[in-house]
Structure 1
């Protein structure tokens, strides 16, 4: 066989192989590679979008947490104010009750003092009447009279 002929046959076979590969094999490989590149690009885009969404969610969570803390602080402040108002109201009620009890006790003490004075006046009047009776029953004597007055004074 002739080497030139063999070389030309191999070149023709190689050219047919290259043409066949370019026509049927490479387009299929290129499509598969393009599809894979597209899937990778979509995956990277989705990952980037996911990171953006995560950042947005973190920002919303931070904002919501700050708002919840502010609301909780406001509620605590309101509860403290209400508790202070209730305490002041209870204190005012207790002071009013104490004042009422003191006024009632003073009135009762004054009433008892008035009753004691009235009773004492009655006793003094009775003693004065008894003393006058005794003086009138006895003879009018200065020493007896002084003695009766001293006993009357001790009884008072």
Structure 2
């Protein structure tokens, strides 16, 4: 075999193989590579969108948490106000009850003082009658001298 002829055959076979590869092998291979590149690009875009969605979700969660915290603080403040109003109402009711009890006690004390004065007047009148009996050495009739005894009671 001739070296030149072998080289021409090898070059022809190479070009035929190159044409066959360009026509039948290369397009599916390039299509698979392009599909894979598109799939990777779509995956990266979806990952970016997912990351953005996660960040937005975090922001939304923080906003919701802040709202919940604020509402909780408002409810605590309202509960404290309600508790203070209940305490004030209880204080007012206790003050009113204490004033009523004090007034009742003062009225009872005034009644007892009046009753004690009346008893004391009766006792003084009885002692005055006994003293007068002793002085006069005779019995004084209390029913006969009732007007005089009543006048004595009023003077005491």
Tell me the residue number matched to 1:72.
72
Show CA shifts across 1:73-131 (max 9, x none).
Answer: 10110011001100111111111111111111111111100000000111111112222
Show the 5 A alignment for 1:55-66: 55-66=55-66
Show the 5 A alignment for 1:4-153: 4-137=4-137
Tell me the residue number matched to 1:142.
none
Distance 1:32 1:55 in 2: 34
TM-score by length of 1: 0.85
TM-score by length of 2: 0.85
Distance 1:28 1:22 in 2: 10
Greater shift in the superposed pair: 106-115 or 126-135: 126-135
Tell me the residue number matched to 2:145.
none
Distance 1:26 1:119 in 2: 135
Distance 1:68 1:91 in 2: 34
**Structure 2 runs not aligned, ≥5 long:** 139-156
Cα deviation for residue 133 of structure 1 reads 2.4
Cα deviation for residue 134 of structure 1 reads 2.5
Show CA shifts across 1:18-69 (max 9, x none).
Answer: 0000001111110110111011001101100000100110010110011011
Distance 2:134 2:2 in 1: 188
Instruction: Give the root-mean-square deviation of aligned CA atoms.
Output: 1.1
